[in-house]
Amino acid sequence: MSGKERSPRHRPWSVYRANTFDLSAEMMGLALSGNSQDPDEPVLEFSAACSELVTPALDRKPTSFVAVSCTTPPQAFWTKHAQTEIIEGTSNPIFLSSIAFFQDSLITQQTQVKLSVYDVKDRSQGTMYMLGSAMFSVKELLQDKHHRLHLTLRSAENERVGNITVIAWQIEEKREQRAPVARLQRGDTVNGRMVLPVDESLTESVGFKSKSSSLCKDPLLKAVFGGVMSRTYRFPTTDGNHLRVLEQMAESALSLHIPRQFVKLLLEEDAVRVCELEELGELSPCWENLRRQIITQYQTIILTYQETISDLHEYKGPSFKSSTLKAERKLEFIPTNLHIQRMRVHGESGYDRTYDVVTIGAPAAHHQGFKGCGLRKLLHKLEEARKHSVGSGSKGMAYQPQDVVKAKELIGQINTLKTQVCYYTERLSRAAKDRSANAMERTLAILTEKTRQLVTVCDSKLLSSAILALSAARPEFTQQGTPSPSSSSLSPASRSPSRSPSRHPASPSRAATSPSRHATPPEGSEASKSKRASLQADLHEEEWEKVWLNVDKSLDCVIQRVDRLLQPDKLQSDSSSEDVFLLADEEPKNTNKDSSPEVEKTSPGEWSDALYPLLTTLTDCASLMSDKAKKAMVFLLMQDSAPTIAMSLTLQYRRDVVFCQTLTALICGFTIKLRNSLCDSGFLRQLHTIGLLVQYEGLLSTYGEELAMLEDMSVGVMDLRNVTFKVTQATSGFGPDMLPVITGNRNGFNVRVPMPGAMFDTLPREIQNGMLLRVQPVLFNVGINEQQTLAEKFGDTSLQEVINMESLARLSSYYDQFKEVLPEDCLPRSRSTTSLSELLKLLSHNVNAKKNKNVEILWQAAEACRRLNGVRFTSCKSAKDRTAMSLTLEQCQILQQEHALAPQVFYQALDCMRSEGCRRENTMKNVGCRKYAFNSLQLKAFPKQYRPPEGTYGKVET
């Protein structure tokens, strides 16, 4: 059979797997009747082995690979489908990468398959020639008794140049012993267990029931991930069996979905900040000018966020940002090259294990540039600038960092409690209207608690001093000769002591007890100005005290009135019905009296009328106190930020960009980990007890721009401590209804992760009830490239050392927490002979050792993360080249440590994954070339475990 073979330039061998969500109709599913095949699993999979290969130069053994092409009638041309890895220097190569046809491969039993064996003369240059080829139909393979074909390879001149054996593999639920490819000889019998039986062929499910969730089929993961690429391998084990490995890579819809939500929240937060500043009221000229400057700065940043939201919604490209666009301004909030990398391992005994790693280009502000420093140094410079502004007597006032944090917390608490007080006063009013005594009692208890919490929050030394500062900034205050904003009279040292209702009984006029305070000193003297300022401060202090005492008094009035209204009901059980009627007929007492020893004689129909004025008073007093307190805190923040507002907002914008990228990756990792662990009660218990461990692995050098990227990334990862998760039940099975939703602000973000009802019902009661799930992030970084060599010889590696030591401390603390409250059986089983405690000691030893490119830190940190049920993330500059080397190495190490991969094929398996695996396709997605961006000189500086095979790298755009 002859046909026309297309050039790979027109149709790459990997095209049968989708590169993005934007799938063409040609690439969509396999339409075979009755097919219920798991889309993650191949419809047909076979392995190939050659023997007796002959080259024209008899003194040279071939370096060969097999290219697979196919055609399905009536198609009249061949389409390149896949290829095996290259095996060097043997006439009898056995290929580890299997050839898989998935549902979207559009094959039938009539499909013709051509196997072309190539001899590679120079891998670095890519020079090769075809030794020979052979063809067969899918039907022939399935109808063979043992589902094995032995074919003769013939050259273009029709000369015999060797043999090729094709063996079809069966994927089934019961995994009896199978003969490995390496042992297959003509005439072997395998009891029909290794291949697809003819009657099932390609039209029915092959019966494999995966314990793992499918990236293509699972409703939750299908909503979050897409553009799945798959590769399959068969690796021999130490006991003579085989591992079946399915490698997958998928991009995520969250790459765009999360930044769109996140930037909108930032915009709303900053817009609220501007409104709060506008609502401060009239200020003296100097403060007014300062406020205008700050508002102008905020309005500039708000315009930027508005443009970003518009750009993100107008973007219509693929659902991932390629490495070539990492510095694109319009897309700077989108993580670079974000993918999920999955390895599923099926053993001969029937087990199925899944390992997921999220890959992301280093979260950094690439568009803004680095100029020698990233977020860590910029934060340090901001602190220095703040200290300098205090020393130089700038306008405004510097508070301690803890005061600024406290002020932000107070604003949030006041807003929340004020809303709750208003809500429960309304609830109490409705309960009175409904004449529900039980509801009134329950609601009053909650209202009392919330109101007293609000009073307690407002009874703060910091708040008192801020109220005085705001009062001093009013025009009427400055007209009386009050000191300027930078005056020492407003310094933290002059703050009044905290007061509370319990320590100061209500007094109509405390000022009356101190008549001397009202004495007016002679005009114009310094003593006059000082005493006048002191007098004004005392008056404002007393005024503020009255405000929150009024709230407390109003609450007491409400409590007393409710008690009187409910008294007849409480007496009813001890009185006859005639007595009750008599009470109801009597005239109600005057409802304006605040207290009375007598029982309130009012009809139930008038309860709401009796309560309404008191509830209104309480609401008004609480609102007055809340608004006054909130304005004082807003003014405090304005004072604190004024000297460095431009620098602060620029830094905040950079931090927002970095955090958004990091947060998006975290949500991807959390979602897939939770979905895969629904049946793991130990993990779920660990999740709601001590939180989720997330471990970022960095491969950035500590030299040049990458040093600044590492600074950005380290801050972004640590900011994840302000993130919590909440699992909710999805409102429907519709894809968009299962996408995560973010709420909150820069003080703390919460991510709601919807799950289908059936999945949600399997979760522990604590998680179903809305418990907030915490995150414990760690980052371990080891530079491995030639720039790291320069840093080690001529530069500085201290940042990497500090980051690794900080993360080691947090990781050890997390494990200590685990040991205190959880049993060891919550953790996954491991075949490793090294205990977790010993592993952490080894990690500690390596972190503290002065050793160049100590990649054992990365290996041990990754293993510790897996064994602690954590989520793994791997990053380099673009998540494309060094990340590919690290991922494939990790996959092979897992296969060797946990699944007994035969040690003699370790490096062959590693080269196989790097040359024909999903990460090679990731380079194609990013730069349009199936080559890693390395050169030979660079690779000499790499640790040997991180070097790709010849022919897979070259000079390309990064």
Is residue 165 pLDDT above 90, yes or no?
yes
pLDDT digits (tens, 9 = 90+) for 333-371: 999 999 999 999 998 888 889 999 999 999 999 999 998
H or E element: which one contains 149? strand 148-154
Task: Show the tokens assigned to 937.
Answer: 């000189």
- What pLDDT is attached to residue 175? 38
Per-residue confidence (pLDDT) for residue 393, from 0 to 100: 52
Q: Which has more confidence, 528 or 276?
A: 276
Is the model more confident about 189 or about 720? 720
DSSP three-state, residue 432: helix
Closest CA to 914 of 942, 940, 943, 880: 880
Q: Among 623, 668, 750, which Cα is nearest to 224's?
A: 668
Confidence at residue 517, expressed as pLDDT on a 0 to 100 scale: 33
Q: Is 510 exposed, middle or buried (0-12, 13-18, 19+ CB in 10 A)?
A: middle
Neighbours of 792 (CB within 10 A): 18
Query: Quick one: DSSP state of residue 400?
Result: P
User: What is the full DSSP assignment across 922-945?
Assistant: HHHHHHSSSSBS--HHHHHTS-GG
- What are the pLDDT digits (tens) for 913-929? 999 999 999 999 999 99
pLDDT digits (tens, 9 = 90+) for 755-775: 999 999 999 999 999 999 999
Q: How far apart are the C-alpha atoms of 375 and 419, rounded to whole Å? A: 36
Question: For residue 462, what are the CA distances in angstroms to 13, 326, 402, 813, 918?
Answer: 67, 44, 11, 33, 57
What is the three-state SS of 291-326? HHHHHHHHHHHHHHHHHHHHHHHHCCCCCCECHHHC
Taking the C-alpha atoms of residue 427 and residue 448, their distance in angstroms, rounded to an integer, is: 13
Chain segment 624-673, per-residue pLDDT in tens: 888 888 888 899 888 888 888 999 999 999 999 999 999 999 999 999 99
Q: What is the pLDDT of residues 579-629, one digit of tens each?
A: 433 333 444 444 443 444 444 445 545 777 788 888 889 989 989 888 888
Judge contact between 741 and 261, C-beta under 8 A. Answer: yes
Which DSSP helix (H) or strand (E) runs through 619? helix 607-641
Residue 813 predicted with pLDDT over 70: yes
Closest alpha carbon to 612 in 566, 567, 558: 558
Q: Inform me whether the pLDDT recorded for 834 exceeds 80.
A: yes
Cβ-based neighbours of 687, under 8 Å, separated by 6 or more: 674, 767, 773, 869
pLDDT at 190 over 70: no
pLDDT of 118 strictly over 60:
yes
Strands 44-51 and 160-169, by their bridges, are: antiparallel
Burial 377-393 (b: 16+ CB within 10 A, else e): ebeeebeeebeebeeee
Q: What is the DSSP string of 329-367?
A: GGGTTSPBT-EEEEEEEE-TTS-EEEEEEEE------TT
Which range among 180-194, 380-394, 731-745 has the greatest average pLDDT? 731-745
* Residue that is written with structure tokens 């390879």 in the block: 153
Q: How far is CA 475 from CA 129, 540, 628, 643, in A?
A: 89, 15, 17, 22
Catalytic residues: 876
Contact 335, 164 (CB under 8 A): no
Judged against a pLDDT cut of 50, whether residue 809 lies above it is answered with yes
Q: Please, which pLDDT band fits residue 537 given cuts at 50, 70 and 90?
A: low
Average confidence score pLDDT of the chain: 82
For residue 881, what is the DSSP state? S
Condensed to tens digits (0 to 9), the pLDDT of residues 409-458 reads 888 888 898 899 999 988 888 888 887 888 888 988 999 999 998 888 88
Average pLDDT over residues 687-704: 96
- 891 CB-contact burial (10 Å; exposed 0-12 / middle 13-18 / buried 19+): buried
* pTM of the predicted model as reported, rounded to 2 decimal places: 0.81
Q: What pLDDT band is residue 102 in, cutting at 50, 70 and 90?
A: confident
Residue with more model confidence, 549 or 336: 336
pLDDT-based confidence at 397, cuts 50/70/90? low
Between CA 432 and CA 604 the distance in angstroms is 8
pLDDT band at 484 (very low <50, low <70, confident <90, very high): very low
pLDDT tens digit sequence for 242-299: 999 999 999 999 999 999 999 999 999 999 999 999 998 888 898 999 999 999 999 9
Q: Please work out, in degrees rounded to the nearest 5, the angle formed at the alpha carbon of residue 743 by the alpha carbons of 737 and 748.
A: 145
Closest CA to 871 of 954, 814, 806: 814
d(CA 847, CA 777): 17
Where is 750: in which H helix or E strand? Answer: strand 748-755
